[in-house]
Amino acid sequence: MRVCRHCGSRAGEVRVGYARMWLCRDCFTRFFERKVRRTLEKYRMLKGVSRLAVAVSGGKDSAALLAALARLELGIELAPIHLNLGIPGYSSECERKARELAEHLGLRLQVFKLEEEGFTVGMLGETRLRRRACAACSTVRRYWLNRLARELDAQAVATGHNLDDTVEVLFNAYFTGDLETIARLKPALPARGKLVARIKPLIALTEEEALEYAEILELPFTSVKCPLGKGSRSLRRKKLIETIAEEVPGYKHTFLSAHLRVFQPMAEEHAELGELGECRLCGEPSSQEVCGYCRVKSAVRAYLAS
């Protein structure tokens, strides 16, 4: 048994790989929560927020997020939201875990079922959007999170995006020169018209840390992976980034900090962010005449009707 770097007890069970540090379970829990608090403060994520919508997927990251926010006793109201996307063999298990998590933390969960809209993400696999199912699903999630958060009068939505998610996006954005993504990828995006502010309190914590935290606290979460994402580019990229991080110590943390310190502000100055209007069909915020969500929805419905 290793010695805990923080308290010196002989219970150093948890390894924080990039910091070459062992911690006991209690100290790791405090370490994790302190990092969340520091991220909230550093990027002024809760400025003007009295009710915070929290996206809860049923997975480890959002479980860790919701639990850390609850345990930090921030003096704000937490409004967890779960989207049931209707993916066979996956969504019902996700909803079950999200409900268990909210109950465990004594919070009331708002559940939205996409099938009420007359389609599901599961159906995407059968349409021409099949190859871009992950992108379309992400459009659907962003849309409903924003809409539900606004309807709940929340001043911001928190998502469980961790450091690994972020570096995966950065990796692609940098080698392809995607300045718009670079300009927009920030820990906190302020509100803009009908777009509720978005915050990522886990952005400086790795996937491994979120998993460790969720396991130590015995939070309910599912380890089932989305069947539509199997073999996806996103998963292969994450593996690749793991390989890079093994060869380049500190790769993920250094990349994020270089991004936020050097490139993001520069890109934001240069990139022209499109005007934000409202979708002709649903009235939700959109940079185009018809928003991405309405386009996905009509593509699936057109397929079903044919």
Shorter beta-carbon distance to a copy of itself: residue 185 or 267: 267
Q: Please, what is the minimum distance in Å from the beta carbon of residue 164 to a copy of itself?
A: 14
247 touching a copy of itself, by CB under 8 A: yes
Shorter beta-carbon distance to a copy of itself: residue 10 or 175: 175
Out of 224, 262, 276, 304, name the contact with a copy of itself by CB under 8 A: 262
131 touching a copy of itself, by CB under 8 A: no
> Do 192 and 276 touch, CB atoms closer than 8 A?
yes
Q: Please, what is the minimum distance in Å from the beta carbon of residue 177 to a copy of itself?
A: 3
> Do 213 and 28 touch, CB atoms closer than 8 A?
yes
Out of 11, 152, 179, 282, name the contact with a copy of itself by CB under 8 A: 179
Q: Is the dihedral of CA 48, 55, 243, 31 positive or negative?
A: positive
Q: Which amino acid is at 30?
A: R
Angle at CA of residue 205, ends 69 and 17, nearest 5°? 135
Three-class secondary structure of residue 73 per DSSP: coil
Nearest to 118 by CA among 96, 95, 86, 90: 86
DSSP states along 156-216 = EEE----HHHHHHHHHHHHHHT-HHHHHH--SEE--BTTBPEEE-TTTTS-HHHHHHHHHH
Interacting span for a copy of itself (CB under 8 A) from 27-35, 78-86, 223-231, 250-258: 250-258
235 touching a copy of itself, by CB under 8 A: no
Q: Please, what is the minimum distance in Å from the beta carbon of residue 20 to a copy of itself?
A: 19
Q: Please, what is the minimum distance in Å from the beta carbon of residue 283 to a copy of itself?
A: 35
Burial of 130 (0-12, 13-18, 19+ CB in 10 A): exposed
Out of 1, 17, 126, 257, name the contact with a copy of itself by CB under 8 A: 257
Residues that bind a copy of itself (CB under 8 A): 174-177, 179, 236-237, 240, 243-244, 247-248, 251, 254-255, 257-259, 261-263, 266-267, 270
